[in-house]
Amino acid sequence: MTANDIAKLHERTQQFGFEPLSFLISNVDKLHKLSIPEQKQLKFCFIKDAIKRHFKNNPYYKKLCDEYNHKYIPPYRHFSAQDPYYLFKKVPVGEIGYLAIFDPISPLVPVMVQTKKLIFIRKDKTQSYLNSQRIGFVNRIAAAKEFGCCAINLKKTSSLMKSTFLN
């Protein structure tokens, strides 16, 4: 199996919508004959396909996004509403503050990130079966320069954290 075959396989998985791993089960001996770069490329195709199918086609995750106009937070993350004037001071539950995200397992962003989104923590009774933390979005502040789903300014966040801890 060459890199070209792997690219064709990846193209087929996108076109026909089947698991690439199940496609190769009958040809396991070919997997052992692949070079290391080809194995890495095939592994990437498998992982990408599995993640895409898991999150895109799973109705459970669609419910997490906006069921009953609530936003559900996974248990490994913690969202809080922070006072806009003091970075590490939380506002009382139900009051509006800046969204701060605490995610200790994310390799892409710092453990703590403060955004320019205004939120409030929801403590009212949920109509859903989920018992996770819930937030309500208010809006983004007008002075925010970043845009997107959860836009953050890593440079500003890092400088705020340094100034808070070093002073």
77-105: pLDDT as tens digits: 778 888 877 777 889 888 888 888 887 77
- Which structural domains are found in the chain, ordered by start? 3-57 (no CATH), 71-166 (2.30.38.10)
pTM of the entire structure? 0.45
pLDDT in tens, 12-31: 655 544 455 555 555 556 66
Integer CA distances (angstroms), 146 to 78, 82, 119, 132, in order: 22, 18, 17, 28
Q: What is the pLDDT of residue 88?
A: 76
Residue 80 has what pLDDT?
85
Note the pLDDT tens digit of each residue in 60-79.
555 555 555 566 677 777 78
Name residue 97's beta-bridge partners. 119
pLDDT at 149 over 50: no
Lowest mean pLDDT among 13-22, 52-61, 107-116, 127-136: 13-22
Q: Strand locations in 1-144, DSSP E? A: 71-72, 78-82, 97-102, 112-122, 134-140
What share of the chain in percent tops pLDDT 70?
37
**In sequence order, what are the beta bridge partners of 77?**
none
